[in-house]
Structure 1
Amino acid sequence: MSTTAMGSFHSIPALPAGARTRLRLTRRGRAVLTALLALPLVIGAVVFALNGGGAVATSEQTHVSFQHVTVESGDSLWAVAERIAPSADPRDVIADLVQLNGLDGSGVVSPGQQLAIPSKYAH
């Protein structure tokens, strides 16, 4: 062992050629390694628990029937909305028609097209 102005140095003996070193984990090291390996499982379980298992598909079919209106020549969504709900704001009726029928919202409908009427406007 030699001492210098910067401090003392310890020399580590060199391993003989062909010698194998073994990795030794302390109890603390094993705990950290176990925690790191278990972390993805814990995160997955928490995500699954918060999600509630997601939607469950069933074989039960729910039959919902709607009243329909047929679009006449020259009609727009505005005209249809005024015809089916004269006392309601046509903008609200149009928004409901667009959502229920999966329309693009441009107000363009074709003559002969069948539109489902939301139940709150059906007579």
Structure 2
Amino acid sequence: MSTAASVNTRAAGSAGFHLNRRGRFLFVGFPVIVLAILAAAAAVFFGAHGMAPAAASDDEPVAAVESITVNYGDTLWDIAGRTAPDSPRNEAILRIGALNDLDGGDLQPGQVLFVPAGG
């Protein structure tokens, strides 16, 4: 046997290593998952902060609104009384709920609510 025949030859472009299933996931799948999570977080962040407080239609005049931050122990009843003292509280609560797409009366401290300005 000659020495030329016993030399190992590699195919052109072979890097000398192969990725197993876990390696392919780390180099391809994991970055794709991270990018998808970041894209979803950006969509939620910009979608929530980019929306107008109330959708205006052509038939109804645009009402002035202001934003308030919910404090610990605040209820919709208290907020309606502070922001619209001259209106019936149940109507003020319904307007606040409509402006903020609220399903119930659960509020969280630090939550920002849109309320009708000037009562």
- What TM-score comes out, normalization by structure 2 length? 0.43
**Greater helix share, 1 or 2?**
2
- What TM-score comes out, normalization by structure 1 length? 0.42
Larger relative contact order (CA 8 Å, sep ≥ 6): 2
